[in-house]
Chain A
Amino acid sequence: MPLETEATAELRALLADIKPDATDLLGALHRVQHHYGYVSAEAMRVIAEQLRVSVAHVYGATTYYADFRTTPPPRTNIGWCSGPACRLRNSVGIRDAMLATLGIAMGGQTNDGMVGVTQMQCNGSCEQAPQVWVGEAVVGRLNAARAIRLARALRDGADTSSVISETASTNGGGH
């Protein structure tokens, strides 16, 4: 048996309480992703050992759920809301504009890892439509032009919080 790496030992400590047949898998995957930003092949192996299932089983589940990523996340992720209320207000234009600005496809990220875009689901803050999430924060009442400025700023290394406050101020409150 190969020597255990430091990373594996850390994963084992993180997942020590994960047990078979105790509905622990989703919690384990969320915990790993929260800690590392993504679910690595090594993490899947440790989870599989803890649950006494095959790695293929864990891989199947990890890739089944939209939440989990198997590669490191970008510095800033833009979550694009795919819901109907946003769709009625040009969310498709916003999506295509951001992807074109960054030169990536949905789910991808820029080569330097600065910005990525993922598809998100409606959470019922539809009064903000059309909206995106920059990191955890909602940037609402967008239009395609503002989305492009936002994507360009993040691409060029702007700080997430400054981008959010700038976009919010151009919204003028929006009410």
Chain B
Amino acid sequence: MGIPGDTYATLRANADAVWEEWNRPLRPRINLAEDTSSLAAGAHAVWVALNRRAEERGAAIDLGGTAGYGLQWLNPLADITWPDGTRILYGPVTLDAVDMLIDEAVGRTGAADRLAIGTLAGSRAGIASIEAHPFLAEERERRLTVRVGRTDPASLEHYIATGGYFATARALDRHMEPQAIRQVVIDAGLWGRGGAAFPAGVKWNFLAGAPGDEHVLVCNADEGDPGGWANRVLLEGDPHLIVEGMLIAALASNAHYGYIYIRSEYPLAVERMRAAIRDAEAAGILGNDVLGSGFRCTFEIVMGAGAYVCGDETGLISSLQDGRGMPRIKPPFPANAGVLLKPTNVNNVETYANVPLILMHGAEWYRQYGTQADSGTKIFSLSGNIERVGWMETPFGTPLKAVLAACGGVAGGGVLKAIQPGGPLIGYLPGRLVDTLTLERAPFAAQGAGLGSGGIVFIGAGSCSVDLNVLFAEFVELESCGRCTTCHGGNQRMHEIFRRTGDGLGRTEDRHNLELIASTLQFSNCAHGQLSPTIMRNTLRHFEAEYNAHLHGTCEALRCPGLARFRITDQSDPSLVEAQAICPTGAIVGEAGNRIVEDSACIRCGACTDVAPRAIVREAAPAGTELPRRAPAAPPGTASAFGVPPLSWQATGLARPEGGMGGPAPITLFV
């Protein structure tokens, strides 16, 4: 045992030296941002090319890595740091920009100015500070994401040199009482960022008060909401912030073990969090003697496997317990009986990430941003029909209209039809509300929706509400765990009704049945079932006319397969040859000058209009149009729709049960 303050001071001194070198390197350094979005944009190939070209040219530069800065539509991003401390962010740094970037790093002649986004440090004539970028107009001060895009997420030293683990060391050094830590978190007004918005400090009180010495912490990094990736930003961009948040929570609630459950869609996050834990252990920040204080704390990473309901805290606990991740009935609450029946606290990634900030700067500082009810800042991920896709950290209460403006408005200057905040359980609101909504809980709740975990999908005029309901209804059906009949049966029916409506076979009684399903679903056990009709309810409330039009054979957006068709309008267009060749079902038939789209064979994929946009139109289908063909069923014996074939008893090597169940046992998964 030693003195936490001294242990920290040693770590800090070393870290400061590394940080100084990072900011004022001996040779120019190109840092390439590597995160899931950058990799999707080809950052790995750029990394390989940068290394190869730098070596081939014998350039006197170094290469480093960061995470993305939030401006995802400009990926891959890279910055150059020069010895005098000037640092400029560039993008998109595609393969053909590699040499240009090396030229600029070496010669500083402005060779890459065309790709300059802004300065991260220092100044350069003609290039504005990154803060002046229009996408960041609604950001005030990056607090949660202060390091993301500026530090190397793999570097413990960078984290420490920028204030990391200071709050923990100070709390240990001063023997801060667990209760006092919890009180600061309560005073700051931090509530859970996973969607349920329960006050974090109060939740920790439950765990601290639980009997026994085997309290368990769980970090819920199973960020499953399609269109939401706020947690990923932190997991990939500042992993130690989450480790420290959990470490403080452990101190505050007398826990010594923690699980970080990360969805498998984020392999890079798994890798970075594993490395962060390993480095923190090696530095004595985690382990049997945290910073020399004698406190012990260990964390373990568990990778999920593609089950949305594992984002529910009891579903996640079930999944950790070596089984199906099915949410269970509460009580008992996790604080009484959680992982392996030990008292457990589950918080979202972003909830934990706020904690070091609060302990470092105090509750009053934390409340500088946000509103009375929703203090602090929040990371929002923004996607859909907008010009600029990415993430930003804004204070709660920021006007949504300003955020949309920062995103460059609706792509192509069109009308905003709808907003889909918070994932498939949270809401679907009309676009006109963008003028009045602010990013805080109350105004969204007043519209029967919510903020959820911070994903916002902006939806343009070319989309159809019924089609989007098919998407979300299918999602909640597929992701139902199957425990409650209300949920797995209700969502199956809801999906079927919307699909049928899109096929042009909507019925008058569907409306009543949808409302019946919605009122029945609320009796499901967990939030998944209870909230799965939210989007449908929002649709019937705000988009009733559009829904009704489908019952009368009209899909104005021409997205629904049964209410639209393709027709050749210009027989002389030479691209029709290619259209005929591309059609995957051979639906374009006839000789040149006499071609038609055979409607019964057409699957409405739109490939023909992709290649012959001026010769073929998508138009409203007249009444009595033959329905498009569904994709053929899988050949027998290959795989079912779920990729899971029946498993025969012989194959398992188990004895067949007595009396009955002859032959291969067909497995039916709520299809």
**Interface membership of B153, Cβ < 8 A:** no
A143 partner residues in chain B, CB cutoff 8 A: 606-607, 610
B47 interface residue per 8 A CB criterion: no
Q: How close is B390's CB to chain A, nearest CB, in angstroms? A: 7
Asked if A173 and B94 sit within 8 Å, CB to CB, the answer is yes
Beta-carbon contacts under 8 Å, B358-396 to A: 381, 383-385, 389-390
Q: Which residue of B lies closest to A25 (CB)?
A: B322
List of B residues within 8 angstroms of A166 by Cβ:
none
Residues of A within 8 A of B385 (CB): 88
Which segment, of B26-34, B157-165, B259-267, faces chain A?
A: B259-267
Would A85 and B644 count as touching, CB distance under 8 A? Answer: no
Residue-wise, chain A 91-129 has the 8 Å CB interface mask toward B (1 for contact) of 011101111110111111101000010111111111111
Indicate if the CB atoms of A108 and B605 lie closer than 8 Å: no
B457 within 8 A of A: yes
Say whether A51 faces chain B, with CB atoms less than 8 Å apart: yes
Report the tally of A-B residue pairs with Cβ distances under 8 A. Answer: 248
A51-B340 Cα distance, complex, nearest whole Å:
14
Bound Cα distance A26, B259 (Å)? 13
User: Is B412 in the interface zone, CB < 8 Å from A?
Assistant: no
In the assembled complex, the CB of A6 is this many whole angstroms from the nearest CB of chain B, namely 16
Set A55, A123, A131, A138: member contacting B654, Cβ < 8 A:
A55
Question: Are the CB atoms of A175 and B92 closer together than 8 Å?
Answer: yes
Q: How far is the CB of B446 from chain A (nearest CB, A)?
A: 23
In the bound complex, residues from chain B placing their C-beta under 8 Å from that of A116 are 639
Instruction: Check B302–A23 contact: CB distance below 8 A.
Output: yes
- Is the beta-carbon distance between B322 and A21 smaller than 8 angstroms? yes
Query: Could you tell me how many residues of chain A have their Cβ less than 8 Å away from some Cβ of chain B?
Result: 79
The winner among B75, B306, B645, B669 for most chain A CB atoms within 10 A is B306
**A126-167 vs B, Cβ < 8 Å mask (1 yes, 0 no):** 111101000000101001111111000000000000000000
Cβ 8 A contact of A138, one of B40, B339, B383, B467: B40
One digit per residue, 1 when the CB lies within 8 angstroms of any chain A CB and 0 when it does not, for chain B 47-79 equals 000000000000000000000000011110000
From A65, A123, A145, A175, B607 is in contact (CB under 8 Å) with A145
Mask of B23-49 contacts with A, CB within 8 angstroms, 1/0:
000000000000011011110000000
Q: Is B505 an interface residue (CB 8 A)?
A: no
Q: Which residues of the other chain, A, contact B463 by a CB distance below 8 angstroms? A: 87-88
Known A70-B644, A111-B638: A60·B37 in contact at CB below 8 Å = no
Chain A residues within 8 Å of B633, by CB? 105
A23, B322: Cβ atoms closer than 8 Å: yes
Q: How far is A121 from B39 in the complex, measured between Cα atoms in Å?
A: 17
Q: Are B631 and A51 in contact (CB under 8 A)?
A: no
Q: What CA separation (Å) do A21 and B321 show in the bound complex?
A: 7
Specify which of A24, A92, A125 lies most central, judged by the most chain B CB atoms within 10 Å of its CB.
A125
Could you say which of A24, A64, A107 has the most chain B C-beta atoms within 10 Å of its C-beta? A64
Given A25-B322, A127-B72, A145-B607, A82-B226 contact (CB < 8 Å): yes
Asked whether any CB of chain B lies closer than 8 Å to the CB of A37, the reply is: no
**Does residue A44 face the partner (Cβ distance < 8 Å to B)?**
yes
Interface segment, B227-235, B488-496, B540-548? B227-235
User: How far is B372's CA from A146's CA once the two chains are assembled, in angstroms?
Assistant: 50
The reply on A75 being an interface residue by CB < 8 A is no
Contact residues in B for A65 (Cβ distance below 8 Å): 304-307, 325
B319 within 8 A of A: yes
Nearest CB to that of B601 among chain A residues? Answer: A100
Contact among A60, A64, A124, A147 for B307, CB-based, below 8 A: A64
Minimum CB–CB distance for B266 against chain A, Å: 7
Judged by a CB distance under 8 angstroms, whether B624 is at the interface is: no
Chain B CB within 10 Å — which of A23, A25, A57, A63 has the most? Answer: A23
* Distance in Å: Cβ of B477 to nearest Cβ of chain A: 12
Q: How far is the CA of A128 from the CA of B37 in the complex (A)?
A: 8
The answer to whether the Cβ of B513 comes within 8 Å of any Cβ in the partner chain is no
Q: Are B37 and A125 in contact (CB under 8 A)?
A: yes
How far, in angstroms, from A23 to B435 measured CA to CA in the complex? Answer: 48
Residues of B within 8 A of A148 (CB): 582, 584, 605, 607
Interface string of B629-671 (1 = CB under 8 A from A): 0011111001111111101000111100000000000010100
**CB of B188, distance to nearest CB on chain A (Å):** 27
Selected contact of A93 from candidates B605, B611, B640, CB within 8 Å: B605
Please judge, given known A-B contacts A23-B321, A27-B302, whether A101 and B643 are in contact too, CB under 8 Å. Answer: no
Report the minimum CB–CB distance from B499 to chain A (whole Å). Answer: 11
Closest to A144 in B: B607
* Inter-chain contacts of B381 with A (CB < 8 A): 124, 126
With a 10 A CB-CB cut-off, give which of A51, A90, A92, A124 has the most chain B CB atoms: A124
Which B residues are in CB contact (< 8 Å) with A127? 37, 41, 72-73, 75, 383, 389-390
* B-side contacts of A129, CB under 8 Å: 383, 389
Question: With A23-B320, A123-B265, A140-B41 given, can you name 16 additional A-B contacts, CB distance below 8 Å?
Answer: A20-B322, A27-B303, A59-B647, A71-B638, A84-B384, A97-B607, A100-B584, A103-B632, A105-B641, A108-B639, A109-B638, A127-B37, A128-B37, A147-B607, A168-B42, A175-B73
Interface residue ranges, A against B (CB under 8 Å): 20-21, 23-27, 29-30, 41-42, 44-45, 51, 53, 55, 57, 59-61, 63-71, 82-85, 87-88, 90, 92-94, 96-101, 103-109, 111, 116, 118-129, 131, 138, 140, 143-149, 168, 173, 175
